Chains A and B, each alone.
Chain A
Amino acid sequence: MIRFEKVTKTYPGTGSPALDQVSVDVEKGEFVFLVGASGSGKSTALRLMLREARPSSGRVYVAGKEINRLAGWKVPRLRRQIGTVFQDFRLLPNKSVAENVAFALQVIGRSRADIRTVVPETLELVGLEGKADRMPDELSGGEQQRVAIARAFVNRPMILIADEPTGNLDPSTSVGIMKLLDRINRTGTTVVMATHDHGIVDQMRKRVIELEDGRVVRDQARGAYGFQH
C-alpha cells in the first residue's frame, strides 16, 4: 500500500537530509505507528505520502502509484484515496459538524443525494450522532477530532494518515480517539499514525517504525514506543 525505496529528502538550504535512505513497506490493512523525536523526519515521511513534497532521490509508492512520477493534475485523485487527520483538527469554524464533513465530498463533486446519506452514517461511526448541527467551537477537543476523522474517512479512503491526532487531547480522550482509529483500521483501511505518545503506542501493540535523524532505527511488529520503556 505504501512503499519507500531508499528515499532521501533534502530540503533546500539545509545540510543534513530530513530523510536518509529510508526503505519501508506498509501492507494493506496495517496499522503503523511512526515514532521519533521532533525533527526525526516523521512529518517529512507523511508529506511524501501525500505528495506534498517529492523525494530528492529514491521512490515512493502510494496506492500502487509512484508518486514522484505522478502528473500534477493526478495528485487530487491520489489524495481522494488518502484521509488525513492533524493535531490541530483543521475544521472550518463557520460550518457545522455535518457541513464540515460534507465539505470534503462537495469539493470532489459528489452528488447531494450521496452526501445526505453518507454524512450521517459517518458521523454515527465516529460517535457524533445527534451533533450534526453543532458548530466546531461548541465541541470538546475530542469531539472536534472525531469530526476531523469523520471528514477524513467519509470518502472511505484506502489509507488514513494521522499526524499526532492525540497531541492536543488529554489521555482519556486520546483513548477514545485511538479506539476509533482502530475501528477504522478494522474496516480494511491502512492507518499510518505519527505520534509522540508513549502510552498509546505501548498500549496498542501495533507495528512501530522509529525514525532518528532521518533514518529508520527500528521497525518492529507489535512494538512499544521505545526500548527503554
Chain B
Amino acid sequence: MQEHFSQEIENLKTSLIKMASIVDEQVDKVITALESGDIELCKGVKSKDLEVDAYDNLIQTQCENILALFQPVASDLRLVISAIMINNNLERCGDIAVNISQRVKKAGNERSLITESQIIDMARTAQSMLKNAIDSFIKNDTELASNVVASDEKVDKLNKQIFSFLVAKMQSNNEFIEASTHLIVMSRNIERLADHATNIAENLVFYVDAQIIAHRKKLERSGN
C-alpha cells in the first residue's frame, strides 16, 4: 500500500516534469522567434500544445485517483494540491505560448519597434522565471522559488513601460498602430506568463514549507 502510494506520487511528479519541459520548450521557441525574427520557429507550437492539453487531463486524473484512493494528508496532500495548481498554470503557459507565436507571426518583422520597446528583455525575464519555477519544483528549492516570486515586480514594471512606449508610438504615427497593438497584446501575454511562473513558485513553497505566500504582500498592504 505504501509502495503503491509512493509509485503513484512518483508517476504524478514525472507527468508534471514532462509537461513542464514541453511548455518550457514552447516558450523558448516563441521567444527566440521574437528575438531573431525567424517566424519559422513558431511552426508546430500550436500542434505541440495538444500534448500539453493531454498532460493537463492526465494529471488531473492522477490527482483525482490519489485523493480518492489514498486520502493523503500533510505533505502528501500538499503535493497533490500543488500539483493540481501547477498543472493548471502550466496549461495556461502553453496557451500563452501559442498566443505569443501568433503575435510573432504578425508583428515579428517590426524589428526596430521590437528592439526599442525592450519587449525581448521582458520576455527573457519571464522565460527565466518560468524555467526557475520549474527547476524549483524539480529540486524542491524554495530559495529559487522565492527569487521567481521577487522577479515578478520587474516584469510588471517592464509591462507598464512597454505599454506607455507603444501608446506614445501610436500617437506619434498611426502607421505603428497595428504592430503596436500586437506588441501590447504580446506584452500583456508575457506578463501573464510571469504571473503563472510566480504561481508555480508559490505552490512549490506551499508544498515544501506548508505556507501560503500568494497575495501575501497585497493582503499585508490592505491590512488583512
B and A form one assembly: no
Chain B residues within CB distance 8 Å of chain A: none
